[in-house]
């Protein structure tokens, strides 16, 4: 297991055990809502506890995806980065790790 994979597994395990996790955003897909370098607190959640419009954390190849939830279909979640024009590929609902509950924007 590589360093990145090990870090992702540790983050997922921490979220599962502690119920919350704070991550630093590295990408630009959620601009303008979340800037690179921002800290986002994630609370563990299941598909029945989220709604379209929420920002959710999914396990998605090759790592995690923190995007806005667009639609919930039976067993499937549809997300999209605010800075993207098209939806992400559908993900099984069991890949949902949590929901963003607090954002500390980077300067």
Query: In terms of CATH architecture, what is 3-104?
Result: Ribbon (2.10)
Instruction: Look at residue 1 in the predicted model and tell me its pLDDT.
Output: 58
d(CA 42, CA 44): 7
| pTM, entire model | 0.94
- Contact partners, residue 57, CB within 8 Å, separation at least 6: 15, 23, 42, 64, 65, 66, 96, 97, 98, 99, 100
**Where along the chain do its domains lie?**
3-104
Asked if pLDDT for residue 87 goes beyond 90, the answer is: yes
For the segment 84-105, the average pLDDT, to the nearest whole number, is 97
Cross-strand partners of 60: 63
């Amino acid at each position: 297991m590589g360093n990145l994979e090990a870090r992702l597994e540790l983050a997922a395990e921490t979220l599962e055990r502690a119920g919350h996790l704070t991550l630093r955003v590295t990408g630009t897909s959620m601009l303008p809502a979340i800037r690179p370098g921002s800290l986002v607190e994630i609370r563990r959640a299941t598909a029945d506890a989220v709604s379209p419009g929420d920002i959710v954390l999914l396990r998605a190849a090759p790592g995690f995806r923190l995007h806005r939830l667009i639609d919930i279909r039976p067993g499937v979640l549809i997300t999209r980065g605010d800075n993207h024009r098209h939806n992400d590929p559908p993900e099984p609902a069991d890949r949902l790790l949590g929901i963003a509950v607090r954002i500390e924007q980077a300067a």
